[in-house]
Amino acid sequence: MKEEVIKILKMVEDGKIKAEEALSLLDAIFDTTKTYKKEGKFLKIHVEEEDGEKIKISVPLNFIKFMNKFIPKNVKEKIEEYGVDLNEIASLVQEEVPSEPLVDIESEDGERVKIWIE
């Protein structure tokens, strides 16, 4: 079972599948659906670049610290350019889920980073 989890996480790291798809695969291995549906909270990250490229990530809040390792490098770099620390955000929202977006930045050249809890 450990090997299957490592393969799934490697696919996320390599950008072959999205976090939501990985969650479905992990649910097939472990019966985690009840845990996430009960919580119902996801960290949503959207990055839109000037050239129209869009990156969308949705990660269960309870899973965010672990999954941070598997967010594609180019997405992390783009988010970090705006001074956003995903580990810090995960720590802050563990206690209370804010109703407003955590991060909503739009640069002059049309790039946008938005992070919120849903």
Range of the domain at 24: 2-117
Q: Which residue has the higher pLDDT, 37 or 13?
A: 13
Among 106, 67, 108, 72, residue whose Cα is nearest residue 89? 67
**Whole-number pLDDT of residue 65:** 63
- Kind of pairing between the strands at 103-106 and 112-117: antiparallel
Highest mean pLDDT out of 10-14, 55-59, 74-78, 81-85: 10-14
Highest mean pLDDT out of 29-33, 74-78, 89-93, 107-111: 107-111
Among 16, 3, 109, 19, residue whose Cα is nearest residue 69? 19
Q: Considering only 18-27, 39-48, 51-60, 92-101, which range has the smallest mean pLDDT?
A: 92-101
pLDDT digits (tens, 9 = 90+) for 83-102: 877 777 767 666 666 678 87
Q: What is the total count of domains within the chain?
A: 1
Is residue 38's pLDDT more than 50?
no
- Percent with pLDDT over 90 in the chain: 0
Among 41, 96, 85, residue whose Cα is nearest residue 63? 41
Tell me the CA distances in angstroms from 76 to 16, 22, 45, 72, 84, one per residue in order. Answer: 16, 18, 10, 6, 9
Q: Which residue has the higher pLDDT, 67 or 103?
A: 103
Confidence of residue 81 (pLDDT cuts 50, 70, 90): confident
Give the max Cα distance, the chain: 47
Rounded mean pLDDT of 36-63?
A: 75
